[in-house]
């Protein structure tokens, strides 16, 4: 019952509309008093005072860079409207009958809820109550686990891909599901000891049948704050799979944070744990042992959005023996880019050189790793002035290091769900032929 409540959708459907309608009714009631000069002035003072508090809040949020991105006109409008309505409710607490006071108190709660839901719906990244409050609701997934081959290497040959691309050899059975399957999986932190939230898993239609083929693997990391939720990538991959006989990568949405309010900057640190080792050792080992996946780097993709994009860029630069493909959606130029001085002091013990060395561009320029066959896609929203120069700089560094690089600006997108969806769509447009899931284009 409680899990069902947490799974309630709050960016569309009846819940947000019900709250918005009730808030509008409360607002009208609280305005509706005899139009005497005294009340008109009182109501205007309440509305204006709430709006001024809203503008002060917006200024503080922008000055402190609370969300890591500038607020938009839409979010500012929701904030101003919410605080103005609350101001009106507050002035209704004086010189009023008890039932108006009750409506005013309930109205304050409704206005706060309506504003929160409005801003959240605009961002589109927290579709349920659970995701809004950073709670992971576990939905354990039944994985079509491979049968070990006692005559061979249980990890497979990391250098050997299929003789022919999958799109040429795969014939889907009649009973193949029409869409992918989503769920959660606790990945043991055997090597790293990192405290992570359950990973999200996406199994495409082709992975759900008997004698399923070995498929490409994508390890995806979301933003901060954020949750390891597979639904965004699943939505796009279901569309691609429907056009390609059910073929798509198996996706692990891994938790590189540990909790949505902290940022281990994709590194192993004493203070916040071994986030890097968790992704590159534990998640990788679990995938090899439990998923029907191709084993060679050319069929493995490390991907991320925002905070996760910076991680993906770093791991692609540092571990080309694992990941032959990188999808960086609206990513940071380097992990910890928002507060580098604080990160150096708190996570790197004041060692600025150690912090510099873990930056993806520094790893690329060190020439410590060969890149015989790396494909990378960097995407960013056209209305994302904070991250657009970072994405462009990252793509230029990758290209200079010899990666086959695509840089794409998503028209009209910001740094929210539109950028995420657009990034997946462009990324898979390029990756599908590369991964052998569709015929080459052009």
pLDDT tens, the chain, 442 aa long: 666 777 788 777 899 999 999 999 999 999 988 888 988 899 999 999 999 999 999 998 877 766 666 778 888 999 999 999 999 999 999 888 888 999 999 999 999 999 999 988 887 778 887 777 777 777 888 887 776 554 444 444 555 678 889 999 999 999 999 999 999 999 999 999 999 999 999 999 999 999 999 999 999 999 988 889 999 999 999 999 999 999 999 999 999 999 888 999 999 999 999 999 999 999 999 999 999 999 999 999 999 999 999 999 999 999 999 999 999 999 999 999 888 999 999 999 999 999 999 999 999 999 999 999 999 999 999 999 989 999 999 999 999 999 999 999 999 998 888 999 999 999 999 999 999 999 998 6
Residues 173 and 210: beta-carbon distance below 8 Å: yes
Report which DSSP code applies to 205: G
Residues 303 and 272: beta-carbon distance below 8 Å: no
Q: Exposed (0-12), middle (13-18) or buried (19+): which is 63, by Cβ within 10 Å? A: exposed
Please state the pTM of the whole predicted model.
0.86
Residue-level length of the chain: 442
Residues 384 and 415: beta-carbon distance below 8 Å: yes
Q: Can you give the pLDDT at residue 302?
A: 98
Residue 305 DSSP SS3: strand
Between CA 143 and CA 140 the distance in angstroms is: 9
Between CA 415 and CA 327 the distance in angstroms is: 16
Q: Can you give the pLDDT at residue 123?
A: 77
Residue 203 DSSP SS3: strand
Closest to 230 in 3D by CA, of 261, 199, 204: 199
The two counts, helices (H) then strands (E), for the chain are 16, 10
Q: Which residues does 85 contact at the CB level (< 8 Å), separation at least 6?
A: 23, 27, 47, 50, 107, 111
Between CA 265 and CA 275 the distance in angstroms is: 8
């Amino acid at each position: 019952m409680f899990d069902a409540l947490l799974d309630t959708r709050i960016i569309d459907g009846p819940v947000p509309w019900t709250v918005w309608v009730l808030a509008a009714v409360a607002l009208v009631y609280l305005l509706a008093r005899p139009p005497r000069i005294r009340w008109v002035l009182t109501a205007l003072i309440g509305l204006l005072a709430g709006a001024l508090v809203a503008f002060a809040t917006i200024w503080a949020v922008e000055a402190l860079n609370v969300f890591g991105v500038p607020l938009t006109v839409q979010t500012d409008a929701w904030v101003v409207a919410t605080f103005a309505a609350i101001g009106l409710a507050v002035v209704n607490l004086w010189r009023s009958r008890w039932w108006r006071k009750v409506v005013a108190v309930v109205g304050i709660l409704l206005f706060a809820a309506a504003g929160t839901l409005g801003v959240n719906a605009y961002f589109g990244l927290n579709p349920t109550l659970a995701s809004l409050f950073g709670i992971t609701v576990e939905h354990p997934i039944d994985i079509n686990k491979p049968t070990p081959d006692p005559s061979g290497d249980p990890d497979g040959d990391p250098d050997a891909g299929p003789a022919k691309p999958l799109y040429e050899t795969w014939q889907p059975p009649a009973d193949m599901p029409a869409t992918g399957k989503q769920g959660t999986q606790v990945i043991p932190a055997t090597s790293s000891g990192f405290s992570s939230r359950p990973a999200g898993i996406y199994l495409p239609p082709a992975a759900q049948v008997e004698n399923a083929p070995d498929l490409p693997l994508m390890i995806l990391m979301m933003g901060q704050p954020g949750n390891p939720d597979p639904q965004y990538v699943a939505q796009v991959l279901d569309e691609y799979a429907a056009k390609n006989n059910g073929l798509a990568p198996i996706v692990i949405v891994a938790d590189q944070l540990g909790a949505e309010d902290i940022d281990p900057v994709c590194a192993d640190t004493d203070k916040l744990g071994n986030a890097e080792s968790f992704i590159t050792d534990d998640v990788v080992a679990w995938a090899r042992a439990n998923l029907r996946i191709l084993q060679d780097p050319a069929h493995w993709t490390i991907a991320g959005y925002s905070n996760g994009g910076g991680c993906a860029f770093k791991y692609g630069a540092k571990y080309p023996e694992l990941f032959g493909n990188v999808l960086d959606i609206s990513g940071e130029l380097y992990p910890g880019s928002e507060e580098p001085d604080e990160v150096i002091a708190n996570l790197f013990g004041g060692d600025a050189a150690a912090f510099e060395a873990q930056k993806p561009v520094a790893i690329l320029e060190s020439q410590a790793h060969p890149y015989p066959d790396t494909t990378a896609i960097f995407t960013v929203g056209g209305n994302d002035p904070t991250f657009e120069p970072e994405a462009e700089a990252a793509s230029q560094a990758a290209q200079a290091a010899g990666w086959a690089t695509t840089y794409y600006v998503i028209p009209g997108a910001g740094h929210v769900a539109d950028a995420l969806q657009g990034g997946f769509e462009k990324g898979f447009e390029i990756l599908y032929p590369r991964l052998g899931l569709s015929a080459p284009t052009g």
